[in-house]
Structure formats: C-alpha cells, structure tokens
Amino acid sequence: MSPRPQPGREYVLTLSCPDRAGLVHAVSGFLVRNSGNILESQQFDDRLQDRFFMRVHFDVSDPNVDLEGLRHRFGPVAEAYRISWTLRDASTPTRTLIMVSKFGHCLNDLLFRRRTGALNIEIPAIVSNHREFEKLAETYDIPFHHVPVTRDTKAEAEARLLELVRDLDVDLVVLARYMQILSDDLCKQLEGRAINIHHSFLPSFKGARPYEQAYDRGVKLIGATAHYVTSDLDEGQIIEQDVVRVDHSLDPGELVTVGRDVEAQVLAHAVKWHSESRVMVEGNRTVVFR
C-alpha cells in the first residue's frame, strides 16, 4: 500500500479541454512556478473527440504555497486553454454516505477497506430502508439511519436523504446494493457524485432472481458493473467492470456467492478511483486513470 499523502503538501490536479499544442508545458510550467514536484502524471488524448485529459499528483516544497493560492494561480492558465479542472488536497478523505438494503457484502467490504486504510474515505452515515445492518454500523461506530421506503413515503425518504447529504457535507453517495429506484429529480441532484453497483447480466435476467435465471441459461461468465447514477436506470457512465468464468458445476447459490465477490471488488475499485480523482466524465463515457 502506498504511503498516505501529506496534508497541505500533496495535491491532485485533474483537467480536460480541447486538445492543442502546449498543454503539458503550461501545466508543468505552473507547477515549477509554485515549487511543485510531480509524483504521478497521466494523460489521454482523445483523438476522436479532440479532447485532452490529464491527472497530476504533485507535492510542493514551499510552505507558503497552499490550496487556495494554487487554485488562484491556476485560474489564468485554465482560462487561456479553456480548461475544465479540479484541484484538491490529496490527503482529504472523500465524505461518503453508504446506502444498503438487505444484501451487506458490498457494505461490509467498504467498511473493512476503510478501516484498514485501503480507501481514503470518511463514512459519516449509513442509510438503509431496513434494519439488518444497524449492528454492523455500530461495530464501526458509524451512525445508522433507518429510512423506510414505500410507494407513499418515497418522496419523504428522498427528502430525508438529501437532508443528510447536505447536513453531513457528503461528497459521494454509494448505493451498495440499495434496492430502491431513485427518482429522476434525486438523480439529477446527485449527478456525478453517486455510484451504483449491479450484476452485469443486465439487460438480460432482470428482476429479483437474476442468478437463478442465469443458471437456467447456463451462463459461463458472471460479472459486475459500477457506474454513476443517472435518471436512465442502470445506464450511467461506467467506472469499472469485471467478470469471472463459471461452469455447469455451480448451482444457483454458488453463482450468487461468486457474483457477490465480484460486486464487492468492482464497487471498491470505483469508490477508490473516484475518491482519488481518477475518474473524469465525458458525456456517456469515463476516462479512468488507474
């Protein structure tokens, strides 16, 4: 595991803009002028769309250089090259609210990874429409909010969720097998900061028992997809996917076990990359600097 970033010393700059000559030179020049030293740099030139993407992790040696000063000084560079950008302290954890229903494998995995330092996130709350994982939240000393959802209370439940997002200063909402469809309005309000996980059988094998359907069809691959939440159900921008090969010897229950392992790993990757500013959304696609 790589060492934790130093607070007030290490920063991450991400940017996208129309491609043109001199972009890398402009960024490196900005870093030199501000005592910056590049620790990691990745870039992608999308020739089909004529767009340039870049992520730079750097540290600064001058103790008088801070985040706000860097943001102020990068402004003219961004304006000159029509750059869309973010600049953040690499050490700052992403405040992450986790939502779950009755399947806890993804929740448990995220909690464990957070405790061991594998994820640079803070979890100010767990929200569920059931009470199955209230005691699990207690073992990690994380506040648990039971927000039941029915057809009549859906609007009230979503209002409560948004209230928590605002009050707890939440950066990211993770649907860790939260089995409720979010309204179009809520999806829009959480655009770019909500991640969902589901099995990769979709659009086939819809419904409550996808693995039984997959067993009946004799599938040979089981996978999972993590994506941003949009109003188009399960069609948001994909962050990560993975598959595992299976065969006829596995019964439906064993397929479920394999599927849960893949779901947990794929979701953890997506949360990690988002929290480290490695994911950049461009239309219906993402650029992921792993």
The per-residue DSSP string of 233-266 comes to TT-SPEEEEEEEE--TT--HHHHHHHHHHHHHHH
* 8 A C-beta contact, residue 286 and residue 51: no
**Cβ contacts of 115 within 8 Å, gap of 6 or more:** 140
From the list 19, 66, 234, 261, the catalytic residue is: 234
Of 288, 267, 286, 287, residue with least CA distance to 172: 267
Q: Is 234 a catalytic residue?
A: yes
Q: How far apart are CA 98 and CA 111, in angstroms?
A: 10
Question: What angle, 0 to 180 degrees and rounded to 10, lies between the N-to-C axes of helices 67-81 and 23-33?
Answer: 150
* 8 A C-beta contact, residue 138 and residue 124: no
**Cβ contacts of 285 within 8 Å, gap of 6 or more:** 237, 238
Query: 12: part of which helix (H) or strand (E)?
Result: strand 10-18
Strand 94-100 versus strand 121-128 pairing type: parallel
Active-site residue set = 234
